[in-house]
Amino acid sequence: MRPTLDWTPTEEAPPGTTDPRPVADALRAGGVLVLSGAGLSTESGIPDYRGEGGSLSRHTPMTYQDFTASAGARQRYWARGHLGWRTFGRALPNAGHRAVAAFGRHGLLSGVITQNVDGLHQAAGSEGVVELHGSLGRVVCLSCGALSPRRELARRLEEVNAGFAPVAAGINPDGDADLTREQARDFRVVPCARCGGVLKPDVVFFGESVPPARVEHCRRLVREASSLLVLGSSLTVMSGLRFVRQAAKEGKPVLIVNRDRTRGDAHAVTRVALPLGATLTALAHQLGVPLDGGRTGG
């Protein structure tokens, strides 16, 4: 069975607004749990999946089943991923990431859960971020479980694929580049340096489950929060939507900042349909929260 990649609205939900005051009120009260998605990173040059020009219009993400079943699929994934990492790994946090980090330093947040795998929350200075879908900055061996830095794998792949520099059609949210089968045909994959096993990025692929302990940790964060603030996520997949449903069931206000409709709108008290970076920056200024710390960019 293929994973859920898209969603069509079937229920009535409040329309989006351009009034961010409910978000300001929630932040002012404190105890806000942030749940972020790919839309927060688009201003850093990383495309999202489903927004305008999203990568799903041209690209079907690798599934866990395909990756583990086929050496050819792994070759294509690592060829695209190796080329994409050269760009993806240099991405810098944008104004939205910096605002979230500032809210945390100012004591307004109870935590941050991100569906993103780019590490930009941490680069901006956020602490204790729960990476729901893992991180592209790490690699795991499917045989021995050893974790290693992505930069180490990148170095090894460079050594055995000298001169590999095809022109890609674009970069995707999962960090891989758009390449044809022919462009990836001669790419060489390296095994785990410890046991010779198959290497996989330490991320949750489509069709793969988030580790149960991580899910329970996030559920506890929802229980302990005063409200849930969703930033830049369509909430199409259940991995994030379940926390919205939990918060609403527990009577916690759910607030969403996302230009397009989301699968969680019916559970939210408001959806602010404004650009994330400018909106969060304006909220920080309104609340007297200084924007400093972390790397700069975007």
pTM of the model: 0.89
Show the 3-state SS of the chain. Answer: CCCCCCCCCCCCCCCCECCCHHHHHHHHHCCEEEEECHHHHHHHCCCCCCCCCCHHHCCCCCEHHHHHHCHHHHHHHHHHHHHHHHHHCCCCCCHHHHHHHHHHHCCCEEEEEECCCCCHHHHHCCCCCEECCEEEEEEEECCCCCEEEHHHHHHHHHHHCCCCCCCCCCECCCCCECCCHHHHCCCCCCCCCCCCCCEEEEECCECCCCCHHHHHHHHHHHHHCCEEEEECCCCCCHHHHHHHHHHHHCCCCEEEECCCCCCCHHHCCEEECCCHHHHHHHHHHHCCCCCCCCCCCC
- Binding-site residues from annotation for Zn(2+): 141, 144, 192, 195
Question: Which domains occur in the chain, in start order?
Answer: 21-286 (3.40.50.1220)
- Binding-site residues from annotation: 37-57, 115-118, 141, 144, 192, 195, 232-234, 276
Q: Which residues are tagged catalytic?
A: 133
Each of the 298 residues of the chain gets a pLDDT tens digit; together they read 344 455 466 666 677 999 999 999 999 999 999 999 999 999 998 887 545 544 444 457 789 999 999 999 999 999 999 988 887 888 999 999 999 999 999 999 999 999 999 999 999 999 999 999 999 999 999 999 999 999 999 999 999 999 888 877 677 767 778 888 888 899 999 999 999 999 999 999 988 999 999 999 999 999 999 999 999 999 999 999 999 999 999 999 999 999 999 999 999 999 999 999 999 999 999 999 999 754 444 3
